[in-house]
Amino acid sequence: MATELPYDLLPELAPLSWLLGSWEGQGRLGAGEEDSEIFYQRIDFAETGLPFLQYRSETWLSEEDGTLIRPLTFESGYWSIDRQRHAADVGPGMKPADPVPAYRSAEDVERLRKNDTDFPITATITHPGSMAELYYGIVRGPQIQLQADAVLHGTLSGHYHSASRIYGLVNGQMFWRWDVVEAEGAEPKPHASGILDKMPSENDGRLPPGKPHLPGKHDA
């Protein structure tokens, strides 16, 4: 499936452009066995006019037929190409960015490749319950690999030491998997995985932001 780029998308976001839009579908907790709990999920990746994508995920426990049971959790964060800071980057805090982009062309962006195939990326993801993760990884075409570099815990967080995530675009669908290491020295365990379809617009689907969602409702 070809990816249409917004005409005003910053060139350095082109490697992440296949993520843009709204995605919905189902997945399973754990290793995905037949008796694993099922969830329904919506992921939104939005372009902001700055050199990062805004990320939001909402999940509900659901029946196999898609009937929503109860809210499961939310995530939010920011994904970008991992590179040196420039005057065109906002911050720290509310310090304004220079209006001239740091990378103005495809040729400029190509210089950010780690090798002939990969761009380095970083993602910051926050969770309810006083926890945030900093990931580093690569994007290789419509494939992403992320490994947690740091996890910030608060007093409300549970056992969660590290994690890895993978995402891929297969026949127009987003496939993803999340593995978690609960304690230092422990082996990674499958945490969740899902298969999501691209929505025609941000207002389509069953879980658009700003629309109230009721347990038991499973119409499109």
Alpha helix locations (H) across the chain?
A: 106-110
Whether residue 51 is contained in a domain is answered as yes
- Determine the Cα–Cα distance for residues 167 and 146; give it in Å rounded to an integer: 9
The answer to whether residue 148 is domain-embedded is: yes
Residue 207: inside a domain: no
Q: Is residue 112 part of a domain?
A: yes
Sign of CA dihedral 140, 150, 19, 175: positive
The model carries a pTM of 0.91
Location of structure tokens 């389509």: 204
User: Which pLDDT belongs to residue 156?
Assistant: 77
Which amino acid is located at 24 in the chain? E
Question: What pLDDT is stored for residue 217 in this prediction?
Answer: 59
In a domain, 205, yes or no: no
Beta carbons of 121 and 81 less than 8 angstroms apart? yes
pLDDT at 2: 46
Find out whether 150 and 162 touch, Cβ atoms under 8 Å.
Answer: no
User: What is the domain-level CATH number for residue 186?
Assistant: 2.40.128.20
pLDDT score at 146: 98
CA angle 90, 19, 45 (to 5 degrees): 55
Determine if the peptide bond prior to 92 is cis (ω within 30°).
yes
pLDDT, tens digit, for every residue of 84-138? 999 989 999 999 999 888 899 889 999 999 988 999 999 999 999 899 999 999 9
**Residue 177: inside a domain, yes or no?**
yes
Residue 72 lies in a domain: yes
- Which pLDDT tens digit goes with each residue over 31-88? 988 889 999 999 999 999 999 999 999 999 999 998 999 999 999 999 999 999 999 8
In a domain, 184, yes or no: yes
**What per-residue confidence (pLDDT) applies to 220?**
46
Contacts of 91 (CB under 8 A, 6+ apart): 97
For the chain, what is the domain count?
A: 1
Residue-number span of the structural domain to which 157 is assigned: 14-198
Q: What is the phi/psi pair of residue 168, to 5°?
A: -155, 150
- Rounded to whole angstroms, how far apart are CA atoms 220 and 210? 16
